[in-house]
Chains A and B, each alone.
Chain A
Amino acid sequence: MPELLRPGSIDEAADLIARHGAAAAVLAGGTSLMRETYPSDGGYLIGVDRLGLDKVVSRDDGWSIGAAVPLSVLREAVPIPALQAATREIGGPAVQNMATVGGNLFARAPFGDLAPALLALGARLVFATADGETTQSIEDFYAGWTDGAPPRTGLLTRIELDALAGAAAYMKCARRRYSTPSVVTVAACVQKDGGTVSDARIALSGAHAHPLRCPAAEQAVIGSSLDDAAITAAAQAAEAAVAPQTDAVATDWYRRRMTGVFVGRVLAVLA
């Protein structure tokens, strides 16, 4: 059984994480980790409930979201519909009261339905390390994952999110309407100049070993008017870019196919 440590400051927490390395796991809402707690022997659980990370601070141009903010609080605090939709797709109401923004970003596939929304919205992640604070784009964070597992960057303390520029949409393909794992989850944020897409961020989870942005799909729509041909090209590019897993919910075959379908559907909403 691991030992629970509940540091009282961010510095202390960052030190514990640095000291214990792979033996340490950060315990936030506990909705994923608590299941694995008893079946593991040894190690440390580092609780983040005493670190004051449970607030959302509004900035003029966006929000600073504490990593331990529960999903139900995020939904009330940040009125971006694509992000609010994401918070409703993770477990039932009890889970949404417990699971945190930061914790969900570390969820193993096919879980982690918040990530595509934050990838599409261009969030930045701030980590506390033993050597001080470091900021990373969320796509760089996911680029650092190996074998479906996150890098050990330090303690995620907050998520910086700018006000929505352009239009964003979010869809989860799942076997049931509520409280169920993703087949594939897609979010996109598109900026248009006149009728032409000037910038696009298209992000996926469930479809790959970890959440990711999909540059090939983005390139397919940038410069287009989001016409059917561009959307089809983006959908095909996304299908080609992912390496989905097979699990009890869906096979890799079905996940890849739904990647295309749902990239298409999300972009159609934004067209």
Chain B
Amino acid sequence: MSKRLAEGGLLIDRNKTIKFEFNGKKLSGFEGDTLASALLSNDQVLVGRSFKYHRPRGIVSSGSEEPNALINLGEKEKFEPNQRATTTELFDGLKAASQNHWPSLNFDFGVINNYLARFLPAGFYYKMFIHPRPFWKYIYEPFIRQSAGLGRAPSQKDNSQYEHFYAFYDLVIVGGGIAGLNAALTAAESGLKILIMEQTPEWGGRCLVDFSKIGDETSSEYVSRLLSELRKFQNVTMRSRMMGAGVYDHGYILGYERLNDHLAADEGPRHRLWRIRAKQIITATGSIERPVSFPSNDIPGVMLASAVRDYAVKFGVATGDKIAVYTNNDDAYRTAITLNEVGVEVPVIVDARMSGGGALAERAKALGIRVENGKAISKVFGKKRVEAIRICEHKDSGKGNEKIECDCIAMSGGWSPVVHLYSHCGGKLKWDEKLALFKPDSSAKPTSHDGLPFVTAVGSANGSLLMHEVLKDAWEGCLSVIKAAGGKVKTKNFKVIEQQYENSLQAIWIAPHDADIKKRAKIWLDFQNDVKINDVELAAREGFESVEHAKRYTTLGMATDQGKLSNINGLAILSSSLGKDIPKVGTTTFRPPYTPISLGSIGGSARDELFQPVRKTPMHDWHENNGAYMEPVGQWRRPFCYPQFGETYAKAVEREINQTRSSLGLLDASTLGKLLVTGPDAGKFLDMLYTNMMSTLKIGKCRYGLMCSENGFLIDDGVVARIDEQTWLCHTTTGGADSIHAHMEEWLQTEWWDWKVYVANVTEQYAQIGVVGPNARKLLEKIGGLDVSREALGFMEWKDGKLGKYDARIFRISFSGELSYEIAVPAKQGMAFWDELIEAGKEFQVMPYGTEALHVMRAEKGFIMIGDETDGTVIPQDLNLNWAISKKKDDYLGKRAQERSFMVNPNRWKLVGLETLDGSVLPDGAYATADGVNPNGQKSTQGRVTSSYFSPTLKRGIAMGLVMNGPERDGEIIEFPKIDGTAMQAKITSPVFYDPDGEKQNV
């Protein structure tokens, strides 16, 4: 059984017991445990089920490469699926549950897939479930879907906080093992600003477990010394529990800091995503041990040799009573020796190499451990737990019958450098035949904005596996980047540390060597996704020759560990099946993140009230406090209407219109864009921007203008006021304030840069209020100040002055057809001014009105609305706005484009009014049909509705639309089918439904 040893455990505090639950079972561990070590200390070896066959799964590793020990963690708003037990620090009250089984972990119906495994090879679903067709949708897929997925879906909103942090360093070092720490120390002396991050809570990496001594010091003394030396440097920032998640172009690197995951309750942000710019990056990310591919290597109790060692040394946990070691290299002997030292029986070390191991092997033998060279494990006994193994000659098909009892297998198939971060941004790899691993090709590092390399791997991440090589490589690698990072190299001599001789590894990709097809069907490559050797061979046989094809066909390496354990083993099988060398086949692309990062951290603090900015006018709070139903308009929120006494929105709109048309309405028009354009060439400039002539506008006057894109389409409209000899004030739509400002700057800066014009966006300087209705003038006269009489301030004129106590600019313009003033006051006076208008307007039963009333009133009047009558495909000519297109100008933006054949086609759809015969309202967006169908069998059309409303003024439906040759077809009746199959008939009319002669506004 797997259990806590009587003593030992570098990271745990045996005085602090931590209580936790697994599948409802109350268990305990110690402070410093991971969930995995705590589970193992409680003999909980079975922790989950595999994805496809629902086979029993046990903990394999001790780190972020873990494919099996994925659990549902926490509850309610803190529930998180697919959390790795091996990287989850234990805390009091932790609740975990295993995944992907029903009804229970121990007894899972899904395991039926396991018995059908032979019928479910790689890619089986591409070949099956084809007939009968409806079965896929109704039977096959729902079944597959239900059985897919791993963890449970969360059911509640996550209330934790997240934040981002921007940081800039000369040098970022990822990995806090001895390579990273030494690199940091070397670089620290050069004066560089340095960040070193480590994904686990502790520093020192593997060295604490792997080496008792480094030079003259114990390994823990050695690490402590490095840390204390580093902490003396002001220029070095050290962060643990922070993972290098991804490397992006131009020195951008993401650091994923987990601040609270080891705590029972949140204290501040849960995760912080560091968005770092580094001049240089060193990846000292170490390497990951590879499993050995032997029959039934997926049974719980089969673990990585390094993990078995980790659990013993770091946590004082023996992962079994009898642990067999299976290796192709010397490193796993350390596990055997360590186990022996802590009193765990090692019945055998199976070494695939005929020549066996080096000095470590000699030591193991001296300790009395049985070592079998040139052997393989040909069979594992046990279903949910290893019970025994059978061993045979490696160069064989699996004959041999010695059965050795053990309840855990510590396997080592060699090591793979963690090259992910090095590769994310295009770093190339090369194959090291001797060590059987891919390592960074130092001649093809990723390059940055200057075209020069910016990521350097050191230590075992660079393929330097032995300790003395690691130290030397960290030193050399660091020296090579200091200059590029902007520092000065201060050369001190490298202190050589000797290490025991190790015998070289022998690559074994399948064991035993001649395993037959039956055995190959039981050798797992990807434990989570259930990909076996025969699956990869099948892919190769069927022509999925590229590594990407094979990956996608078999799903090898696509599980949540992204193939950290399986990729190289699978690649080797693919290569041998294709008869090619491994480097010829190549690796799949490494993509961020290194291990999965929370979506919450990616979103950062941008949630709830910070999700997006809400732009607010000076009167925003008043609207909200007075019951306005607000609609999002860009980032603004504008009152759609102000419902009262529980009335519907439609009723509110009707009431607002009736009151405005009969007496007085107020509109918060502050969001409309206001752009000030000034300079000796301002008139010339506006003549280019607008289709109209703006240079001739008289001071004190207003003119409605249209703007087109260079592609000819109408993009914005609004009233332009001439302020003084050199200054114009251009009103834009709400959405146009920023975009038209940018549009003006673009033309001024990049095309007409010698024109003397300045533009300023003064939209937010003013609160702008529409005072609209027959009593508008009376209200202003009541407030007093500026003369707003018909004579003093005519239609399409503006004036500055005092209105009451307010600094006002009054525009006499109308978008409703009523007598109307738009009054701009400094934004800070806006609320007081609005209050005063409401107060003084009471005698006229003044009502605020919203955007919908605005839209209906303008439609009654036949005014176009950008975004309704236009949609990016409409030119001013389509809207019969030729009157606003100057004939005198040689040029304006869009003029040439409007001369293209399709733009001058006489059959373009043009603006008309539409009146339903029965007075009902045409559906939004309805199309008018024409006879027949087009060559693709679609019903022919001849027009469409662009705006459609119930008009409270006319008490009937009114609409505007674009109809082929529309204006020439006045009075004609056309048909608009509805989606329900019925149709409506409408008569083509003038689009001006209300007060066509303008008697109302010109009073």
A, B from the same assembly: no
